[in-house]
Every structure is written in structure tokens, then in C-alpha cells.
Amino acid sequence: MNSILQKIEKLRDELHSHNYNYYVLDKPLISDYDFDIKLKELIGLENQYPQFSDINSPSKRVGGAVIKTFNTTTHDFPMYSLDNSYSKNDLEDWNDRIFKNIGDANLEFLCELKFDGVSINLTYENGKLIKAVTRGDGIQGDDVTDNVKTIKTIPLKLKGSFPKKFQIRGEIIIEKKDFIKMNEIRLKNGLDPYMNPRNTASGSLKLQDSSEVAKRPLKCFLYQIVTSEQSCKTQNDYLKNALDWGFNISKTYKLCNSLLDVMTYVNYWDTKRFDLNYEIDGVVIKVNNINYQKELGFTSKYPRWSIAYKYKTEQIATKLISVSYQVGRTGAVTPVANLEPVLLGGTYIKRASLHNEDQINKLDLHINDYVKVEKGGEIIPKIVGVDKSKRTSEFKKIKFIENCPSCFKVLSRNESESQHYCLNYYECSPQITGRIQHFISRKAMDINGLGNETIDLLHKSGLISNYADLYDLQMHDLLPLERMAEKSINNIFRGLEESKKIPFERVLFALGIRYVGQTVAKKIALAFKSIDNLMTRNFENLILIDEIGDRISESIVDFFSNDENCKIIYRLKELGLQFELEENNGPTNDVLKGNSFVISGVFNEYSRDELKDMIEINGGKVSSSITSKTNYLLGGNNIGPSKLLKVKKLEIPIINKDDFLLMLKSKPL
């Protein structure tokens, strides 16, 4: 038996190596025929001796697993979006912000092409691929491991010396030539062609049969190693290591010593991108020093140490047929241009947002105008100009509507705002369903089993008129409805029951108070501890909270001055939702009150987010940069050198984790 196992392992190692040489290095050492013979021999032996099965065997490349549903998985490290820049001035502003925090005038930057594909997060343990998860919303995504294993440019087993466990991120793409071949085959078979490579790659990852995924010409470029154990000092070092371990790293990246070098790289690829065999939509610029990356940290959406430079988008002309109007959950009315369909950036564009009345007037839009359309940020179509030479006297100037398109009530517009609003808060259907859809959303109450279409259906059926009504639904209410079966209804009830455990700050966000986002909701929850305390506060009380301005304070007061809103909240309280801060979420005492902390370095026992929460729940504040108002630098291993210089200059004490824990145990100041 040992000889059989040795033979199987020898075949696996050979096939892993040949896969790497062929798909990554583009230097095949054997013919396709010889490769297929070895693979068939391996599959035969694995079928004959199933006790020697290996989930990372090269035989898994051919697929075979059938996945009915993809499990949702939370990312160990959030997959943030990138902030965008569109000019040299934007990059200079970004560079200035970094210098202000780091203080190093000789920064190195790593520049990479921004592949237009599908983001993926791969987890390796002991040199083997154990999990592949899509980006999703950045917090959690879908587990597509079986499908990803069919992609030849993703190693199932690594070479050399690598960390015991780490994650690496990349972009799954379909090359242009392969995409053309796919569509040629579809056209020959009388099928509609695929629209663009990116959407086709995304759809391929979600096929239920992995053997079908194996037939798709998917490739993957890897570009970012993520680990809690820092083993390299620079981004460049991580990429060099990743190459040695067998990952497919695009050779187009470049280390730049100045912003001038960055712009040279950006300008070079602005023209050369059209020669590439895959789509890109810009360049990604990263601070090369890993310690600096940790110092700079993240905003709620973006890493501060990285930015995307987006190339000027393609524009195309088409005809403006009509304008329709959409009503959002806050009552804001948005005009939408209905266009003669036109192909732009691989997608047929039929509609484009016009934002508000001021934008319509600025463009001087008329029905039947020929307009220039581009994709804002490569995603959202927008009208950027009008060809007035084609306009005739018959073209009618667009006048913004006076009445709500849904409930027909007269619209209102404040002088200080550009938006029109429908004030029919409780009878305007899009506002009602919009508020409930926001309430059930993932970042709010995260109610499994309910989606936007289901909310629309429940409202049209007269079963719900606000989010509290969801908790009064009964089985006999739902069974007669379209697409409702007992199993799906039980999932809804289970999701509603689970939502009663959602903490107060998220419930507060879910209420949909205008201008109260996730961060603001958390600050308010920490300040007032319960909904009862918040409801009794006035404008003057609210304005005292850090980062809560006039507009937010006015909106909160208006919300709770409405009797209907208060009645709904009382109903939700009776139903068991969390309207008080849990003791371990709110400040346990005010031991850190009046103290501002900056966190820097690497901690073995706690993540930075955990330390931040510990500071905030004990009354302290956390800042990303050191100023004269900073009281302490909470430092771990590898504190950033610029921060050390700043605290020394300002004579700010540095405390370690043990000092910090002692502070928490002391009596309130």
C-alpha cells in the first residue's frame, strides 16, 4: 500500500508542477497529451484507492461537485473597497494626507493594474487551499471553494517556505480572446452572446456544477497577502514571496519612489491598456511599507494607504426618450433618464440617473436630445453632455414634476437642498417599502428569508405597512401568496426571531432616521444607552455629541416628535427587540473619559478593533493620528517610526497592552 500512495503522491506533485509551468509561467515542459495521460492515471488510482483521497489533488481541477446553495462566510479580514482618483491633483491630495499622518517625505509606492474581474479571497493552511470566498459586501461573501479549485492559475498546493496560515486576494477574469471564442460558440449554437467578460466570470463562479465551471476559461491574478502575522516589511516583498510560492502574479506591477514615478506608470498604461488581453479600469497605488499601512489604517469604507486611479471613461451618444421619477425611503425624488439602448463598456445602457432638478437645468435637457453618456466610476451610467446641434424646435424642455409619481401629493423642496421630497411619509408606497427594506437589510436587522421583492409583495397584499408589522405575520397570512411555501415561510419566522438579538446600535440604524448611518448610530447608542433616553433629548443635548452636527440633530428630533414613529418603536420594544445597550457594549464605567488614544503596532492577543471597542466602551476616544490632544499612544510590536517621533516631540506617554488593562481595572477618574 505504501508503494501505491507514493505513486499517487508522485503523480500529484508532477501534475501540480506542470500546471504551474503551463498556466503561470507559460512554459510547458510536456505535451497536452502526456499531461492528460498522467491525469487519467491519477484519477484511476484515486478511484481504486479512495482511502488516499486528497481534496487538493490535481484531479479536482476537472470539477464534479454539485452545489445547490453557496454558504455565506464572514471574512476574517474585511475586503474594503478602494477610494477613487481621476487626476494627478487627486493623487497629490492623497499623498499629502499620508504625509500628514506618516511624516515620511520619501515614501515608496507599489503600483498595480486594476483588473476588471471578480474579487476573491483565498485561504491557505499548511500550503494547501482550504477556502475560497467571494467579496460579497466586503464583510461576508459566498463560499465557492469547489468552483475555484477548477481554475488552473490558482495553486492547490504551494511550493517553498510559506506561513502556516494566510489569506491572499486576487481577481478572477476571462481574457478577451477566450471571451470572443465563448461567444462564437454560443452564436453557432443559436444562443445570445454573453454581455461582457466580468459578468460572465462572476456568473461562472456561481454555477452549481463545478464540472461546468471547469469548462470556463477562468484565470486569476493574485495581488494582496493578508495575515495577522507580519512576515514581510513591504508590499513588494510579499509579491516576490507569492511568486516563489507558486501564485500567478502579474508582472506588470512596479515599485515607484515618487509621485512622479507613479504618474509615469499611470500614463504608460493609459495607452498600453488597449494592448492587454484582459480588461483593466485603472491602476491601484499602495503605500509599500507594511508598518505604514498599519499606521494609516482604514476609514469605514476604504484603506487610507491605497487608492485607485480610474482612467477616463468611454463616452457614447444616444437619444433621451423620456424621464421617469423614483421615490426613495426618505421621500427623496430622483429623476431617471430613459435612453435608446446603447452598448457602453460591454453593457447595454437603457437608463441613467439625473440626480435632481438642478442637474437637469444645468444640462438644459430636452426630450429627444442626443446626449453623451458615460459610466461614472465605470459603474453607474450618467449623462455628461448634450449635442445641441441636433436639437429642433419640436424638442420639449424637461420640467421637473410637481407631484409625487406614486401618491400624487405635492412635492416639497427646501431652499438649502437640491432634492425634492414627498412628505406623504405614511401613505406613499415606495417610502413605506423602502423603509422596511432598509430595516431588513444585512447591515441593519439582517433578517434571513426576507428580500426586497418579498417586502413589495407583502405590502401590496396589505399585510404590512411598517417594519413592526413584520413581527405580527402568521403562517396563514403567507401561505396563499405567490412563491411562498411552508419551508420558506419558516425561514422568514426564524429570521425574524433571530433579529431580536441584534444589538441596540444596529436597531437604531435600522429605524432609518435620515442622516443616521452605522457610525452615527453607534455613537448615539454609546452616548445615550437606550432608546428611552434618546427619545427625551432635545437638539441642544444631541449637538454636544462628538461629530453629531446640526443636520443630524434636527433629523433625530423630528423623527421622535412624530407620534406614529414612537408608536412603532413601542411595538418593537414589546416584541422584544433590543433598545438598550448591553452592559458589555456600553461604557462599563467612565475610567477612560476625557482621554484620547492612538493605537499603533501589532498586538498578539487583541485586534485593533477589539482594543478600539474596549477604549470606547470605557468612555475614551480613539483617533487615527497623533495631535496635541492625544493623551496616550497604545503601542504593540513594530510601532510606526513617525508615530514614535511625534509622541516624543509632544511628550505623549506610550503604554503597552498590560498598562492599558491596568487602567481599565482602576477606579473612574
For residues 94 and 233, state if they share a domain: yes
C-alpha cell at 31: 505535451
Residue 589: what pLDDT?
61
Alpha carbon separation from 231 to 290, 345, 648 (Å, rounded)? 10, 40, 28
Q: Which residue has cell 509561467?
A: 25
CB 398 within 8 A of CB 360: yes
Residue 45: what pLDDT?
74
Please give the helix or strand (H or E) that residue 4 lies within, else none: helix 2-19
For residues 159 and 277, state if they share a domain: yes
For residues 221 and 103, state if they share a domain: yes
pLDDT in tens, 223-256: 999 988 878 999 999 999 999 999 999 999 999 9
For residues 617 and 557, state if they share a domain: no
Longest Cα–Cα distance of the chain, Å, equals 89
- Write out the DSSP string of 172-225: EEE-HHHHHHHHHHHHHTTPPPPS-HHHHHHHHHT-SBHHHHTTS-EEEEEEEE
Please give the helix or strand (H or E) that residue 332 lies within, else none: strand 332-344
Residue 112: what pLDDT?
97
Q: 566 - beta bridge partners?
A: none
Mean pLDDT along residues 98-102: 87
Within a domain: 395: no
Which burial class, exposed, middle or buried, applies to 250 when counting CB atoms under 10 A from its CB (0-12, 13-18, 19+)?
middle
Residue 20: what pLDDT?
67
Mean pLDDT along residues 125-145: 90
pLDDT in tens, 246-290: 999 999 999 999 999 999 999 999 989 888 999 898 999 999 999
CB 585 within 8 A of CB 522: no
Domain that holds residue 512: 504-575
Confidence label for 584 from pLDDT (cuts 50, 70 and 90): low
Centroid of chain to Cα 307: 15
Within a domain: 121: yes
pLDDT in tens, 480-528: 988 888 888 999 999 999 999 999 999 999 999 988 988 789 889 988 8
- Write out the DSSP string of 93-113: HHHHHHHHHH--SS--EEEEE
Within a domain: 411: no
Q: 308 - beta bridge partners?
A: 84, 284
Count the domains in the chain.
6
> Is 80 exceeded by the pLDDT of residue 57?
no
Residue 522: closest CA among 536, 508, 512, 511: 508
Centroid of chain to Cα 373: 26
C-alpha cell at 522: 453607534
CB 556 within 8 A of CB 516: yes
Mean pLDDT along residues 2-16: 75
Within a domain: 246: yes
Of 451, 482, 499, the domain-final residue: 499
CB 369 within 8 A of CB 319: yes
Alpha carbon separation from 15 to 7, 9, 21, 172, 462 (Å, rounded)? 12, 10, 10, 22, 61
> Is 80 exceeded by the pLDDT of residue 667?
no
> Is 50 exceeded by the pLDDT of residue 669?
no
267: left (phi over 0), alpha (psi -120 to 50) or beta: alpha
Residues 6 or more apart whose CB falls under 8 angstroms from that of 15 comprise 35, 38, 39, 42, 58
For residues 348 and 476, state if they share a domain: no
Confidence label for 668 from pLDDT (cuts 50, 70 and 90): very low
Residue 517: closest CA among 505, 528, 526, 529: 505
Mean pLDDT along residues 91-100: 91
What's the CATH number where 22 sits? 1.10.287.610
Confidence label for 630 from pLDDT (cuts 50, 70 and 90): very high
For residues 180 and 124, state if they share a domain: yes
Within a domain: 629: yes
CB 347 within 8 A of CB 378: no
In single-letter form, the type of residue at position 59 comes to S
What's the CATH number where 657 sits? 3.40.50.10190
Mean pLDDT along residues 581-592: 64
> Is 80 exceeded by the pLDDT of residue 578?
yes
Which burial class, exposed, middle or buried, applies to 322 when counting CB atoms under 10 A from its CB (0-12, 13-18, 19+)?
exposed
pLDDT in tens, 354-396: 989 999 999 999 999 999 998 754 456 889 899 999 998 889 9
Cα angle for residues 488, 492, 495 (degrees, 5° grid): 135
pLDDT in tens, 389-431: 999 888 999 999 999 999 999 999 987 788 999 999 889 999 9
Which burial class, exposed, middle or buried, applies to 510 when counting CB atoms under 10 A from its CB (0-12, 13-18, 19+)?
buried
Mean pLDDT along residues 153-173: 92
C-alpha cell at 611: 482594543
Residue 125: what pLDDT?
93
> Is 70 exceeded by the pLDDT of residue 76?
yes
Within a domain: 376: yes
Mean pLDDT estimate for the chain: 86
Within a domain: 417: no
Residues 6 or more apart whose CB falls under 8 angstroms from that of 561 comprise none
Mean pLDDT along residues 187-205: 83
Q: 111 - beta bridge partners?
A: 254, 285
> Is 60 exceeded by the pLDDT of residue 476?
yes
Residue 421: what pLDDT?
94
- Catalytic residue numbers, as ranges: 114
Residues comprising the chain, all counted: 669
> Is 80 exceeded by the pLDDT of residue 334?
yes
For residues 472 and 613, state if they share a domain: no
Residue 378: what pLDDT?
47
Mean pLDDT along residues 572-586: 81
> Is 50 exceeded by the pLDDT of residue 626?
yes
Long-range contacts at 377-386 (CB < 8 A, ≥ 24 apart): 377/84, 377/310, 378/116, 378/281, 378/282, 378/310, 378/313, 378/345, 380/353, 381/344, 381/349, 381/351, 381/352, 381/353, 382/352, 382/353, 383/320, 383/337, 383/352, 383/354, 384/315, 385/315
pLDDT > 70 in the chain, percent: 92
Cα–Cα distance for residue pair 466/100, rounded to 1 Å: 47
Confidence label for 31 from pLDDT (cuts 50, 70 and 90): confident
pLDDT > 90 in the chain, percent: 48
CB 113 within 8 A of CB 204: no
Most confidently predicted of 66-75, 117-126, 193-202, 609-618: 117-126
DSSP state of 403: B
Confidence label for 587 from pLDDT (cuts 50, 70 and 90): very low
Please give the helix or strand (H or E) that residue 35 lies within, else none: helix 32-48
Of 443, 469, 499, the domain-final residue: 499
For residues 178 and 29, state if they share a domain: no
Residue 102: what pLDDT?
86
Within a domain: 405: no
Residues 6 or more apart whose CB falls under 8 angstroms from that of 321 comprise 338, 339, 340, 367, 368
Alpha carbon separation from 502 to 441, 515, 609 (Å, rounded)? 12, 21, 19
For residues 155 and 286, state if they share a domain: yes
Residue 61: what pLDDT?
63
Residue 10: what pLDDT?
77
C-alpha cell at 153: 492559475
Of 499, 520, 537, the domain-final residue: 499
Mean pLDDT along residues 442-468: 92
For residues 165 and 260, state if they share a domain: yes
Cα–Cα distance for residue pair 463/292, rounded to 1 Å: 54
Q: For 99-113, 271-285, 489-503, 615-629, which range has the lowest pLDDT when averaged over its residues?
A: 615-629
Residue 1: what pLDDT?
67
Cα–Cα distance for residue pair 266/260, rounded to 1 Å: 10
C-alpha cell at 666: 482602576
Measure the N-to-C terminal CA separation of the chain; round to a whole number of Å: 71
Residue 586: what pLDDT?
45
For residues 102 and 44, state if they share a domain: no
For residues 493 and 640, state if they share a domain: no
